[in-house]
Every structure is written in structure tokens, then in C-alpha cells.
């Protein structure tokens, strides 16, 4: 009998051979030259076929067929573009034409790599643990920290203590890189005193919680070095890695550890990063919970596609790893600043296996300002480009060919800023300077280019419509490109130059302000606006060139809409709440007890939750809290028991025949605090429900309408604030 892992390998290999055969046939058919009328009819036929398949159930056969038909249209365009649209007119035009052709070639390469990666999505179920707890492996929970707020670290530590796992097999470690001897003896007095104060608070917290506090001499090799220094103190068979702002659910180990018992060559079970606060785009454009979050595309689709090809990789947190595997490669890799994917690549190349469990088991925080967002994204971009240069998967002889392609896709994606910048400025080169960078007539454009663009649009919507609105992807990439391109260029010049930068969290904004990163967008927006105005003038003044002018003008207007939306994101909205509110709907009771012992119990509905407090809705007024003790009683369906949380009212308002109450949780000791942490952050089913609620597709046209309308509104608001000067750009 063939072992299951060997059977999977044979299946993937057969699948790959089939895809190679189909791709070879597509190349041959795409190469054939036909009349423009035949090409137009052929394109129309395939586009209609794609529209029909979109309406069918998204089963494996139809998914593959959809991508094959899309691939045919893309290849038809590529071969036509290569053979018939490149011509030397003058030196400037030639440079622009080559740059645009290179950007398009990159986009086509990424289309096929993405199609391969996402051709089949694997959805694993948690492997149940055995009844015999003595057979369960021991687990070390490590929480690396650098400069995060003590209160934020406290939530994660307490949530770690709440994890449901045998106490004798679970050890928790705080790895404080903000408390190294290097930090505690820094020459800068203010930095030295701040480091000492923070380290002292964390040591006290760890002592009270029964958590081991670890630090080291010097801050070498960033997060990887911090974790490697701690390995000498660890003895567990498995390691659960958590970022300092990733509070684990109580069942994070019971849903992940079973897979390691089942497969002795498994080195990783990665789970999604689930965030309870909006990123800058969601916050500043008021789209949080109205659209799928930005990271869903990666965690809902791409990682599952990678998992099918046995290429899902470590994402730095919310993951369980096998200690034996980490030791085999000499610890966590620290050559690049993305130690997670680098470590996974090494282990995959040694024959170790990984799993991706699509089940949210942590609740984390993501950057809330565009500055911190870019710090994070530039680190990812630089690290993945470093990985591509220093650990090129195409040169890893022990990797399976499908793993090489998957890693190549993940790494090559981060070169997008170069292509995006070219797409932004290309229309202006034609409209403003008359550079001939795209040789084609209107008939060829509609026969080849339009079907190609529609194929890309429909494919993206078909694969990711429930995970990312298409126009949103354009905005995110546009915003990142103007800054990431310099970071990536520095890596290309010196691959070992980048240094790890920690992403700021729990930021508060006392007032609205214009982001300090706005200035480059003013230049690009101004140039694009000028190109649009000049294009409109040329459209009416030069009827002979009206066809290509109109097409280029449409492209420039689309870019202008993207840039306006980007400016909307760069108008930072105030954020005074430190603890994000999580939308819920929980039936509970408000219990108020008087000093004499009498009690009143009133039904309420909890509408949101946070560590700071909650919002309640009731049809009845709550008793005055003066001279009373009060609490929230919630029935736990899982334990079939009532849980109580001390609380008090901080504000009240009326809404029709209902009362809205803002409450805060009152805790007097660490155990009551731990209970509140468990209530707010411990239930993974709540994250699963919120994740499913965001899994909606409003339709291609509707999602684009919402995004365009929203982007224009907030973009114009940014410009109004800029030219009216009521607020200044923060530096």
C-alpha cells in the first residue's frame, strides 16, 4: 500500500504533468497568427465562456477550465504584444516602450504563477488529539517582544496562560529584546531609563503570572536572534510562536498539536493572522467590516493554494513548529529580515512538511497609521527580495518543482512596485510628451488588449472575489509602490543591508492630520491630473489620433481615481481608543446588588467587546450603580455555566425605546483580569464567525462602484484640508 504522503506526491506530480501539457498546447495555439476579425470573434467567444463559467459552482474542474481559458487570452495578447507592437521610433519612446513591455511581462508572469499557486485550495480540518494526554507532546510558548506597550504584552501573556493544555506540558516564555544588556546600558539616558522601567514592569508581570522572562546580551539578528538565544533555555518538543500583540484563543493547541502526532515529518502548522482593528485604508475610508480585510486574500486563498502544493510557509506568529526540525537547520534563519519564510524554505528543501490550518486561533493588531503600515510592508518586501537573491528557490535542488514555483510566486510578487510605477506614469508619457510607447491601432487594441485586460479582471474576481475587492488591491499596491521601490532597490544593491524594523502598535491619534508620506502622491497626482486635462484637449483638437488618445485618457483617469483614493487613505482620521471594539451579539444579564443584599437582574445584549469595556443595549433602564456592586452574567454554552464579570456604567444614551450603555470592566486581581481576557480573546469560534461574515462578494461592478465613490469622497476631503490649511502635515 502506498503511504498517504507518497500518494499525495504522486497526485501532485501527475497534476503538474497535466498542467505542463495543457500549457504547452496553449503556447502553440496562442502563437498562431489569425486575421483581426477572427481574433476579435475568438476573444469574444472565450470571454463569454468565462462569464458563463463564473455562474457555475466553483468546483475543481470548472476552476481549472476557467484558468485555462483565461491563460489562452493572456498568451494570445503576450505573443501579439511581443511580435507586433514593439518598434523603434526614437530613443525616448524606445526606452518608455521597453519599460512598459517589461512591466506587462512581469504582470503576465505573475498571472501564471498565481494561477498555478491557486489552482486548487486545500482546506484541512484540525486533527483531534488522542484521549491519552501522556502521549501529547510538550509545548513551549515563546512571545518575542521589543518595544510594545506593557499592557499589550500583558494581554498576550495572560491569554497564553489561558490556553487549554496540560499544565505539566506547557511552558510560557517572554523573550524581551527591549531588556537586553545593550538596551539597559545604552548611552542615551532617556532610552536607558525607559528600557529599564519597561524591563522591570515585564519582570514583575512574568513573576506574577508564573511566566519565564528571558533576555540576552545584545540585539543581534533581530527577531530570529532573539528566538535562537531562547532555544538554549527551551526543552519542549513543539514551539508555539506568538507576536506580542497576538492573543491566542484557548484552543490554539488542541486544534494544532494533533497533526504533529499524526505526521512525524511535519515541521509546521500555520494558522491565519486574524486582526480585530482596521488597517489605515479600512479606517480612513470607513470600510472596516464593509469589505473583506486586506490580509484575507493571503490567508483565505493563497496559503491554502500553497498548502496544496506542500509550500505553505511560516508567517512569524500564530504557528506551531517542531523543535527537532528547527534544530536540524541550526535554529531560526536570520540571514534575511523575514526569518519566517526563510526558515520554512530551508526546512521544505530538507524534506520536512508543513500544514496550513485555515482556522483563526489568535486575535491580533495591525498597523493603524500609514507610516506604521509602510514600515511593516517595506520589511516584508525587503525580506522576500533578500530571500529571492540569497536563497533563490529555483536553485534549491532538493525542492520539488511545484515548491520552487510556489516560493518563486511568493517572492516575485514583491517586485510589483517597479511595474506599478511604470503603469502610473506611462499614460502621461504619451499624453504630455507624445512618446510612442505602444504601437497598435484601435482595432488591434479591442481585439487583443481589451480581452486580455478583461481576462485578468475576471480571473482575479473569480479567484479572490470573497477575499479582496479588485479595486482595493489596486489601491494597496499603488500606495505601497511609491515607497517600497526605494527599499527594494536598496536590497538589489546590497542584499545584506536591510535591518529589521518593529511595527508600531496601539497607536492613538488625538486629531485628524495629513500623513507625512503624502508628498510623493501630490507630485504623481498633479502630473496625472495635468495629463488628463491635456488628454481631453488633444482628444478634441486632433481627431486623427482620437482613438489612441481616448484609450490612454481612460487609463489616466483610472490612475487618477486610484491616486485620489490613496490621498483619502493618507488623511489620517483620529483614533483615541487604545483597545479596539469587537462587534458581537451576546445575550447576557446585568446584575446589580445593593449593600443590603438585594439584587436586580436585567436582560441586556452585548453589542461590542474590548478589554476596556463594552456596549450594552437594554429595553429597561439599569439601576444606579452608586452604593451597588454590578456585574455582567453571561451563559457559556460550551461549559454550560454562567460566567460573571465585574463592571460599571460609564455613559448612557437613549435610542428610541432602548437604552445604550457604555460599561467598563472592573477587575481587582490578576485572576479577574485573566477571566476578562478569556471572555474577550479566548473564543476562536467568535473569530471564525467574524471571518465568515466578511466573506462576501458584492459583485464586481458594485464593489468597484463603492470603492470609487468612497475613494473620490475622501480624496477630495484630503485636498480640501490641504488647500484650506486648517490642519498641517505631521512630521
**340 a catalytic residue:** yes
pLDDT digits (tens, 9 = 90+) for 679-691: 999 999 999 988 8
At 294, the pLDDT band (50, 70, 90 cuts) reads confident
Write down the pLDDT at residue 6: 59
Write down the pLDDT at residue 250: 97
Q: Do 213 and 202 contact (CB within 8 A), yes or no? A: yes
Q: Which of 221, 251, 307, 340 is catalytic?
A: 340
Q: Which of 177, 251, 675, 683 is catalytic?
A: 177
Cα gap 468→693, rounded to integer Å:
14
For Cα atoms 679, 682, 684, give the angle at the middle one, nearest 5 degrees. 125
Span 273-288, mean pLDDT? Answer: 90
The helix (H) or strand (E) run that includes residue 629 is: strand 628-636
pTM: 0.92
**132 a catalytic residue:** no
Span 664-687, mean pLDDT? Answer: 93
Cα gap 480→502, rounded to integer Å:
18
pLDDT at 728 over 70: no
Write down the pLDDT at residue 729: 46
pLDDT at 506 over 60: no
Highest mean pLDDT: which range of 25-34, 622-631, 686-695:
686-695
Write down the pLDDT at residue 32: 77
| DSSP, res 622 | P
Q: Do 631 and 594 contact (CB within 8 A), yes or no? A: no
Write down the pLDDT at residue 730: 46
Highest mean pLDDT: which range of 40-44, 84-88, 205-209, 503-507:
205-209
Report DSSP letters for 206-233, one per residue: HHHHT-EEE--SS--SHHHHHHHHHHTT
For residue 388, the number of C-alpha atoms closer than 13 Å in the C-beta half-sphere is 21
Task: Please give the grid coordinates belonging to residue 79.
Answer: 505573443
Radius of gyration of the chain (CA): 28
* Fold that domain 136-366 belongs to in CATH: Spore Coat Polysaccharide Biosynthesis Protein SpsA; Chain A (3.90.550)
User: Is 582-666 in the same CATH topology as 136-366?
Assistant: no
Which residue would you say has higher pLDDT here, 292 or 385?
385
- Could you tell me the sign of the dihedral formed by the alpha carbons of 260, 264, 267, 269, in that order? negative
Task: Please give the grid coordinates belonging to residue 510.
Answer: 488625538
> What is the residue extent of each domain of the chain?
33-117+415-571, 136-366, 582-666
pLDDT at 4 over 90: no
Beta carbons within 10 angstroms of residue 640's beta carbon: 7
Instruction: Pick the closest to residue 420 from 366, 496, 378, 481 (CA basis).
Output: 481
Q: In what order do the strands lie in the sheet with 353-356?
A: 212-214, 170-176, 139-145, 238-241, 319-322, 266-270, 353-356
Q: What phi, psi does 150 have (nearest 5°)?
A: -60, -40
pLDDT at 138 over 90: yes
Task: Please give the grid coordinates belonging to residue 461.
Answer: 474576481
pLDDT at 504 over 90: no
pLDDT at 731 over 50: no
Write down the pLDDT at residue 467: 86
Q: Which CATH architecture has domain 582-666?
A: Beta Barrel (2.40)
The helix (H) or strand (E) run that includes residue 66 is: helix 60-84
pLDDT digits (tens, 9 = 90+) for 444-486: 999 999 999 999 999 998 988 888 888 888 899 999 998 889 8
Lowest mean pLDDT among 59-63, 618-622, 681-685: 59-63
Report DSSP letters for 241-306, one per residue: E--TT-EEPTTTTTTTHHHHHH-TTEEEEE----BSS--HHHHHTT-TTTS--TTHIIIIIIHHHH
Highest mean pLDDT: which range of 136-150, 279-293, 459-473:
136-150
pLDDT at 8 over 70: no
Write down the pLDDT at residue 47: 94
Task: Please give the grid coordinates belonging to residue 444.
Answer: 488591434
Cα gap 572→567, rounded to integer Å:
10
3-class DSSP state for residue 596?
Answer: coil
Beta carbons within 10 angstroms of residue 344's beta carbon: 25
Write down the pLDDT at residue 226: 95
Task: Please give the grid coordinates belonging to residue 142.
Answer: 515563546
| DSSP, res 567 | H
pLDDT at 106 over 90: yes
Write down the pLDDT at residue 645: 92
Lowest mean pLDDT among 50-59, 196-205, 565-574: 50-59
Beta strands in 135-198 (DSSP E): 139-145, 170-176
Q: Which residue has the cell 456596549?
A: 615
Amino acid at each position: 500500500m502506498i503511504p498517504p504522503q507518497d500518494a499525495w506526491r504522486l497526485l501532485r506530480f501527475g497534476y503538474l504533468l497535466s498542467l505542463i501539457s495543457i500549457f504547452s498546447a496553449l503556447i502553440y495555439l496562442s502563437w498562431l497568427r489569425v486575421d483581426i476579425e477572427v481574433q476579435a470573434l475568438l476573444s469574444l467567444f472565450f470571454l463569454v465562456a468565462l462569464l458563463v463559467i463564473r455562474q457555475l459552482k466553483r468546483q475543481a474542474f470548472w476552476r481549472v477550465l476557467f484558468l485555462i481559458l483565461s491563460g489562452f487570452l493572456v498568451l494570445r495578447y503576450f505573443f501579439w504584444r511581443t511580435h507586433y507592437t514593439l518598434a523603434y521610433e526614437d530613443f525616448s519612446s524606445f526606452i518608455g516602450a521597453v519599460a512598459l513591455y517589461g512591466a506587462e511581462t512581469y504582470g503576465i508572469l505573475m498571472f501564471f504563477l498565481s494561477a498555478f499557486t491557486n489552482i486548487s485550495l486545500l482546506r484541512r480540518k484540525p486533527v483531534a488529539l488522542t484521549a491519552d494526554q501522556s502521549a501529547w507532546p510538550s509545548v513551549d510558548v515563546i512571545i518575542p517582544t521589543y518595544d510594545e506597550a506593557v499592557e499589550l504584552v500583558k494581554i498576550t501573556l495572560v491569554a497564553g496562560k489561558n490556553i487549554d493544555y496540560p499544565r505539566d506540558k506547557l511552558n510560557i516564555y517572554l523573550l524581551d529584546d527591549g531588556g537586553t544588556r545593550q538596551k539597559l546600558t545604552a548611552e542615551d539616558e532617556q532610552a536607558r531609563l525607559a528600557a529599564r522601567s519597561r524591563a522591570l514592569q515585564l519582570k514583575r508581570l512574568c513573576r506574577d503570572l508564573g511566566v519565564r522572562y528571558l533576555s540576552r546580551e545584545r540585539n543581534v539578528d533581530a527577531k530570529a536572534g532573539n528566538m535562537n538565544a531562547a532555544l538554549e533555555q527551551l526543552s519542549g518538543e513543539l514551539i508555539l510562536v506568538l507576536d506580542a500583540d497576538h492573543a491566542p484563543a484557548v484552543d490554539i493547541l488542541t486544534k494544532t498539536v494533533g497533526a504533529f502526532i499524526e505526521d512525524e515529518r511535519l515541521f509546521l502548522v500555520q494558522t491565519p493572522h486574524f486582526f480585530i482593528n482596521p488597517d489605515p485604508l479600512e479606517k480612513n475610508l470607513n470600510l472596516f467590516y464593509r469589505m473583506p480585510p486586506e490580509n484575507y486574500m493571503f490567508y483565505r486563498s493563497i496559503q491554502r493554494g500553497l498548502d496544496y502544493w506542500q509550500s505553505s510557509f511560516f508567517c512569524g506568529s500564530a504557528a506551531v513548529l517542531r523543535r527537532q526540525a528547527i534544530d536540524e537547520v541550526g535554529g531560526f534563519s536570520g540571514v534575511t529580515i523575514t526569518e519566517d519564510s526563510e526558515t520554512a524554505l530551508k526546512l521544505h528543501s530538507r524534506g520536512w512538511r508543513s500544514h496550513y490550518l485555515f482556522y483563526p486561533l489568535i486575535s491580533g493588531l495591525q498597523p493603524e497609521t500609514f507610516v506604521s503600515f509602510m514600515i511593516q510592508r517595506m520589511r516584508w518586501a525587503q525580506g522576500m527580495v533578500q530571500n529571492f537573491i540569497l536563497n533563490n528557490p529555483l536553485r534549491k535542488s532538493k525542492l520539488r518543482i511545484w515548491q520552487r514555483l510556489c516560493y518563486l510566486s511568493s517572492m516575485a510578487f514583491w517586485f510589483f512596485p517597479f511595474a506599478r510605477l511604470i503603469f502610473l506614469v506611462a499614460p502621461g508619457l504619451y499624453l504630455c510628451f507624445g512618446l510612442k510607447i505602444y504601437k497598435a491601432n484601435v482595432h488591434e487594441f479591442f481585439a487583443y488588449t481589451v480581452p486580455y485586460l478583461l481576462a485578468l479582471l475576471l480571473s482575479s474576481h473569480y479567484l479572490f472575489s470573497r477575499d479582496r475587492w479588485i479595486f482595493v488591491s489596486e489601491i494597496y499596491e499603488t500606495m505601497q509602490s511609491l515607497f517600497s521601490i526605494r527599499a527594494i532597490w536598496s536590497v538589489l544593491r546590497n542584499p545584506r543591508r536591510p535591518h529589521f524594523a518593529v511595527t508600531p502598535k496601539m497607536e492613538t491619534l488625538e486629531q485628524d492630520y495629513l500623513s507625512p508620506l503624502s508628498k510623493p502622491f501630490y507630485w504623481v497626482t498633479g502630473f496625472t491630473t495635468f495629463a488628463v486635462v491635456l488628454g481631453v484637449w488633444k482628444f478634441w483638437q486632433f481627431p486623427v489620433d482620437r482613438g489612441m488618445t481616448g484609450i490612454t485618457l481612460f487609463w489616466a483617469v483610472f490612475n487618477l481615481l486610484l491616486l485620489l483614493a490613496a490621498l483619502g487613505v493618507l488623511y489620517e482620521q483620529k483614533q483615541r481608543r487604545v483597545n479596539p471594539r469587537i462587534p458581537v451579539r451576546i445575550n447576557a444579564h446585568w446584575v446589580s446588588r445593593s449593600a443590603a443584599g438585594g439584587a436586580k437582574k436585567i436582560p441586556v445584549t452585548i453589542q461590542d467587546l474590548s478589554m476596556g469595556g463594552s456596549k450594552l443595549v437594554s429595553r429597561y433602564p439599569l439601576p444606579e450603580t452608586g452604593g451597588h456592586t454590578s456585574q455582567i452574567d453571561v451563559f457559556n454554552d460550551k461549559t454550560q455555566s454562567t460566567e460573571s464579570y465585574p463592571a460599571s456604567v460609564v455613559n448612557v444614551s437613549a435610542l428610541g425605546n432602548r437604552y445604550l450603555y457604555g460599561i467598563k470592566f472592573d477587575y481587582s486581581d490578576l485572576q479577574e483580569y485573566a477571566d476578562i481576557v478569556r471572555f474577550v480573546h479566548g473564543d476562536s469560534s467568535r473569530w471564525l464567525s467574524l471571518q465568515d461574515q466578511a466573506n462576501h462578494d458584492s459583485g464586481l461592478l458594485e464593489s468597484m462602484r463603492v470603492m470609487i465613490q468612497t475613494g473620490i469622497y475622501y480624496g477630495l476631503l484630503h485636498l480640501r484640508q490641504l488647500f484650506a490649511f486648517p490642519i498641517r502635515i505631521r512630521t
